Amino acid sequence: MSSLICCYCPSDTEEALILLEKYEGRDVLDARFRNDMLHIALATTAKVDVVVSWNFQHIVRLDKIHQFNGINLEFGYKPLAI
């Protein structure tokens, strides 16, 4: 079972920022919603199993979930359940 509390070290943050750049490069979300993409990147690199969100506009949308997970798989990460 995944821990509900994650501790980040600088290398985790750097890894998440690299993944964030992948999301941005594929225009998963508009640049105005960079923090939403960072949220997903941090969860992905922390190996979180599930992200629970009320953000139905930018995150909890089937098309966006497929885009995030497609990039995650392409770069060696597991898909997230959102």
pLDDT average, residue stretch 3-18 = 68
Q: Average of pLDDT values for 58-76?
A: 96
Domain, as residue range, for 70: 10-74
Residue 6 has what pLDDT?
A: 53
Establish if 80 belongs to a structural domain: no
Contact residues for 33 (Cβ-Cβ < 8 A; gap 6+): 58
2 belongs to a structural domain = no
Q: What is the pTM of this model?
A: 0.84
Q: How many structural domains is the chain composed of?
A: 1
DSSP state of 30: -
Helices (H) and strands (E) in the chain, counts: 3, 0
Bridge partner list, 78: none
